[in-house]
Amino acid sequence: MDKINKIIDVILSEAQDQADQILMKADLKIAQSRSENDAQIEKIKLLAEDEIATEKESIAIKTESLIETRSRQKRLVQRQQLISEVIDLALKKFGSLSDQEKVDFYIKLIDKRNIKAGTISLNRSEQSLLPQLLTRLGTDFSAGEVVDISGGIIIEHERIENNLSLDLIIRDNRPELSVIVSEILFSAEE
């Protein structure tokens, strides 16, 4: 039985050696896999950190840009409000002109449009200007009805109406007026 025990011992010893070799190989593969995985994890971490840093930088730039854009928009709105107030103030100031200054202005409007005849309509508060206007313009012009405008004149001739009301003149020329007012008010800032 000793021989059988020796054979069994040899077989078991060889089996143990093979098992140890298999375990060593498995441990080696596990260690290599772990090493490779750790390297991959480290690489992913570095890439993620780079992406996070890039994203942070991008967000910071976008935030600055957004803040600057909103600031410019706010300044632009404030400027536009100020320009509008100046134009409205100029329109109100027209009401404080003397009768002679208003008549001169209306005559210039008529001459600029090359209007040679027609019926002149004014608002209620400017009806007193009509006699002086008609005298200066001549017999081709006549008095019309009272119209609901803030200032300016409306001239009708042969079914053509020339609306020279201040509201319409300001509305039609607001972009150009805004540029002029802006240049005057903000030329030092730019």
pLDDT tens per residue, range 45-78: 888 888 898 999 999 999 999 999 999 999 989 9
Domain boundaries, the chain: 1-94, 98-186
- Contact status, residue 120 vs residue 142, Cβ threshold 8 Å: yes
Measure the CA dihedral 169/172/174/177, to 10°.
-60
End-to-end Cα spacing for the chain:
111
Tokens of 17: 């050696």
Nearest-5° angle of CA 182, CA 186, CA 188? 145
Is the predicted pLDDT of residue 189 greater than 70, yes or no?
no
- More confident site: 6 or 1: 6
Is 98-186 a domain of CATH 3.30.2320.30? yes
pLDDT tens per residue, range 104-153: 999 999 999 999 999 999 999 999 999 999 999 999 999 999 999 988 99
User: Looking at the whole model, is its pTM more than 0.75?
Assistant: no
- Contact status, residue 86 vs residue 181, Cβ threshold 8 Å: yes
Tokens of 147: 């119209």
H or E element that contains 119: strand 118-121
pLDDT at 185: 82
